[in-house]
């Protein structure tokens, strides 16, 4: 009886010993890699913060400047001129980007890296596009509760900023100017983020004869005769603001210049279509009605 008990006990020890040999291997196979996100877009970074997923951030692009806390992360440069080595040096498991990410060689290299989840998010210039991006990003950190709370808050803000606003009886014609250097001015046509923001705010896009952006044509600009000129803060700084436009004699006859109707908003806030979209639409609407 005692001998049998000892044998059973020995078998149990042997079983436990074998199990201890198997468990570490099994655990290693099923252990998930810690999430490490590189965000290549200011609006994407804002959504990450709104979803409380910033603990996973390890790097951002140069346009990610809000909230201020984001500046503590390493910057990989501008999203259109990225270095493969620079981004990979941060050992990301996930890279989130907008459709203008580049150059093409960077995109090809990252797509071919099977160790990285590379997501290029739809840049749809609309409130619905924002909600889609929130859902896509929240799936990474399984932030379902945060996602629903954020979407509920955005829907409430959107109703107040846009859906419940009365139609402007005499909507102003608004022309959006963009400049990355003082010698080159671009004008927004149809199907751009700027055109969508003008429409959401209750204005009329002054340039609708083409899609995208074109260099400023003075004759066309004068013929369009916008009531208001809209710019990003960054373009305003490059061009010298309203004073810079006033000094351009060829533009002096335009109503917006003559009446000093000039509006500027931060580029990320105005064109990013991130979580600040409702408040930005309301801010722009109020500026158009002044």
**pLDDT tens sequence across 40-65:** 999 999 999 999 999 999 999 999 99
* Residue after which a domain boundary falls, among 163, 193, 211: 163
For residue 282, being part of any structural domain is answered with: yes
CA angle 94, 146, 35 (to 5 degrees): 20
Beta strands at 94-97 and 117-120: parallel, antiparallel or unpaired: parallel
- State which residues form the domain around 214: 173-289
Tell me, yes or no, whether 108 and 128 share the same domain: yes
Tell me, yes or no, whether 152 and 182 share the same domain: no
Cα–Cα dist 110/122, whole Å? 18
Tell me, yes or no, whether 119 and 190 share the same domain: no
* Residue after which a domain boundary falls, among 124, 145, 163: 163
Tell me, yes or no, whether 50 and 129 share the same domain: yes
Tokens found for residue 204: 């009329």
Residue 215 — φ and ψ, nearest 5°? -60, 145
CA distances from 118 to 106, 174, 285, 288 (A): 11, 37, 36, 39
Model confidence over 154-205: pLDDT tens digits? Answer: 999 999 999 999 999 999 999 999 988 777 889 999 999 999 999 999 999 9
Tell me, yes or no, whether 190 and 282 share the same domain: yes
CB 215 within 8 A of CB 180: no
Tokens found for residue 265: 């908003």
Report the Cα–Cα distance between both ends of the chain, in Å, rounded. Answer: 99
For residue 88, being part of any structural domain is answered with: yes
* Residue after which a domain boundary falls, among 142, 163, 184: 163
The total domain count for the chain is 2
Closest C-alpha among 288, 290, 285, 269 to residue 162: 285
Average pLDDT of each block of 10 consecutive residues along the chain (290 residues)? Answer: 47 46 43 88 98 97 96 96 97 97 98 97 96 96 90 98 95 94 87 98 96 93 95 89 70 87 96 98 96
Q: Could you tell me the CATH number of the domain that includes residue 144?
A: 3.40.50.1980
């Amino acid at each position: 009886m005692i001998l049998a008990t000892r044998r059973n006990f020995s078998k149990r020890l042997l079983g436990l010993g074998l199990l201890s040999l198997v468990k570490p291997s099994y655990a290693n196979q099923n252990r998930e890699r810690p999430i490490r996100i590189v965000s290549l877009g200011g609006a994407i970074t804002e959504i990450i913060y709104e979803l409380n997923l910033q603990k996973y951030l390890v790097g951002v692009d140069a346009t990610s400047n809000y909230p201020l806390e984001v500046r503590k992360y390493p910057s990989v440069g501008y999203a259109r001129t990225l270095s493969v080595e620079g981004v990979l040096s941060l050992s990301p498991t996930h890279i989130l980007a907008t459709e203008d990410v580049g150059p093409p060689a960077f995109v090809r290299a990252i797509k071919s890296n099977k160790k990285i989840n590379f997501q290029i998010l739809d840049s749809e210039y609309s409130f619905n596009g924002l909600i889609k991006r929130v859902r896509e990003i929240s799936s990474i950190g399984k932030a379902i509760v945060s996602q629903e709370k954020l979407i509920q808050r955005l829907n409430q803000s959107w109703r107040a900023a846009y859906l419940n606003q009365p139609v402007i009886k005499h909507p102003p014609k608004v022309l959006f100017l963009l400049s990355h250097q003082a010698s080159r001015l671009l004008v927004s046509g149809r199907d751009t983020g700027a055109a969508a923001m003008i429409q959401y705010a209750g204005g009329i896009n002054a340039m609708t004869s083409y899609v995208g952006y074109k260099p400023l044509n003075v004759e066309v600009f004068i013929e369009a005769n916008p009531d208001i000129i809209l710019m990003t803060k960054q373009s305003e700084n490059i061009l010298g603001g309203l004073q810079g436009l006033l000094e351009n004699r060829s533009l002096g006859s335009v109503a917006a210049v003559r009446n000093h109707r000039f509006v500027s908003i931060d580029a990320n806030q105005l064109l990013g279509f991130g979580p600040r979209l409702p408040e930005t639409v309301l801010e722009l609407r109020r500026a158009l009605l002044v």
